[in-house]
Amino acid sequence: MTVDELGLVLLGGALVLLLAVFAVRLSVRTGLPSLLVYLFFGLAIGERGLGLEFDDQQLTGVLGYAALVLILAEGGLTTRWSRIKDVVGPAAVLSTVGTVVSIGVVGTASHYLLGLEWPVALLIGAVVSSTDAAAVFSVLRGLPLPPRLVGLLEAESGFNDAPVVIAVIALTEIAAHPEEPTHAWWLLALEAVGELAIGVVIGVGVGRLGALALRRVALPASGLYPIAVIALVVLAYGAADALHGSGFLATYVAGLALGNVRLPHGAAVRGFAEGLGWLAQIGLFVLLGLLADPFRLPDHVVGALVVGLVLLLVARPLSVLASVSWFRFPLREQAFLSWAGLRGAVPVVLATVPATAGLVDATGIFDLVFVLVVVFTLVQGPTLPWVARRLALSQGETIVDLDVESSPLGALDADVVQMRIGPTSRLHGVEIFELRLPERCNITLVVRGGEPFVPTPRTMLRHGDEMIIVASAAARPVAERRLREVSAGGKLAGWYRRLGPDAMRPGRT
């Protein structure tokens, strides 16, 4: 490549990147995961569109792994431990036992309905069994769902890449070399458990030691802290992989450990990670679109629909039932978990693994998975809010974190959160003083109709209001619980619990 050619490449890349950034607005309005827009960009500029030739599946797989590392790093760094700590058990079971169930069901259906050999059928089941972290993080964090449900889906999408990658690699070797003797299933399972354990240990170790070092070492520029944090997370991947552990699990766990401690310039760190995550998503999805050939895809529509319907209507519900029913999740929450198993870039990236191993049916597997992801993302993504409402899971408010780069807030161990009052919330008509928020917590700003103002204790809240709340780390959980109580039960919610059981006995006033 010459310098002149470099200019043209950078021009085209910048234009695609800008279009992708502005397309996020369309994604938010329609409820579609942005991956579909980026895949379309890749198809549009590919060989069948503007004529850019690209067919290197091995390079796509390598770059895809690198992009997934950054996506998982962003997911770990921006996930609050307080939101997922109560659901780590169910998420771990869903990511392992649920994956095995999904592989078995989809593999069996692919064998009997599509006539595929067992190794290839199970390989397809493994490829499509992983939920996508990028899709889950981008879609679910904007929905007013119970925190436990969102936390479970976030944790599952962060955890399940690791066991799925192990399964795909093992099944690819079996399918590519059927004449070679294979290890016993229990030995493969034991090896997988060992890899996952190494990934967790490396992730926790790198995260904790890295946080300790960053708090003790005063770097000369604030911009060095985000670079150091990303380097630590990538280090976790490399160290785990070198020790034959799960690099993806180490990446997510290290990001989780680093993202849930007070780091210098923590807001800048999370903002930098989010930007890298978006860049990785855009580059990865455009690259996958480039690799796909639109003229080959129609031949795999029937197979993709068969596998997708089995996955959505049978495999995923059975995975959820076998995994989380032991943790007393209501059936309506299990139904939503079944519908919310979004697929995205991860299955398409994993579909390139068979090509690198020289599998004969590799191109067909890639095309089938590509069609499946596109079709079922169109079905599941936009319908998630409707499904949540039908199952009576949609709450009247949403609470999200706001990162504010402020040294005083960091020194005070304080958080800034944003809360939107939804159309069904009973916060409507409540005056701020009636909320009885804890000490060291204050509503500092209300945005109504696009106009911000500083509220007084007598300010009455309305549907559609957005509140900016500043609270100490200790007061935040109490404040959130109180706001949810009032949102669900009105201004008198919690009075009986606060006064105690003696308050309702005869003779008391």
Instruction: List, as one string, the DSSP characters of 233-273.
Output: HHHHHHHHHHTTS-HHHHHHHHHHHHHTS--TTHHHHHHHH
Dihedral over Cα of 332, 338, 342, 346: its sign:
positive
**Measured distance CA(381)–CA(391) in Å, rounded:** 16
CB atoms within 10 A of CB 40: 16
Terminal Cα distance for the chain, rounded: 85
Paired sense of beta strands 466-472 and 451-453, if any: unpaired
pLDDT confidence of residue 139: 66
- Is 189:163 a contact under the CB 8 Å cutoff? no
| Surface-to-core class of residue 177, CB atoms within 10 Å of its CB (0-12 exposed, 13-18 middle, 19+ buried) | middle
Which pLDDT score, from 0 to 100, does residue 456 have?
Answer: 93
Q: Find the helix packing angle between 161-176 and 247-259, rounded to 10°.
A: 170
pLDDT for res 440: 87
At a CB cut-off of 8 Å and minimum separation 6, what does 25 contact? none
Q: Is 466 helix (H, G, I), strand (E, B) or coil?
A: strand
What is residue 204's three-state secondary structure?
helix
Tell me if 154 sits within 8 A of 140, measured CB to CB: yes
Predicted pLDDT at 29:
64
| Mean pLDDT for back-to-back runs of 10 residues, the chain (509 residues) | 81 85 70 75 84 85 91 89 88 93 95 92 93 70 77 87 90 83 74 92 96 85 90 96 93 94 82 89 88 90 95 95 91 92 85 85 91 89 84 70 50 74 86 90 90 92 90 85 86 60 40
Backbone φ and ψ for 402, nearest 5 degrees, come out as -120, 120
pLDDT at position 140 is 67
pLDDT at 180: 72
Our measurement of the distance from residue 110's CA atom to the centroid of its chain's CA atoms, rounded to an integer in Å, reads 27
pLDDT of residue 141: 61
Q: Mapping DSSP to helix (H, G, I), strand (E, B) and coil, where does residue 103 land?
A: helix
Instruction: Report the DSSP pairing between strands 441-448 and 397-402.
Output: unpaired
Would you state the pLDDT for residue 178?
75
Report pLDDT for 499.
45
State the CB neighbour count (10 A cutoff) for residue 224.
14
Global confidence as pTM: 0.80
Which segments of 305-440 are extended strands (E)? 397-402, 414-421
Token digits of residue 47: 């060989």
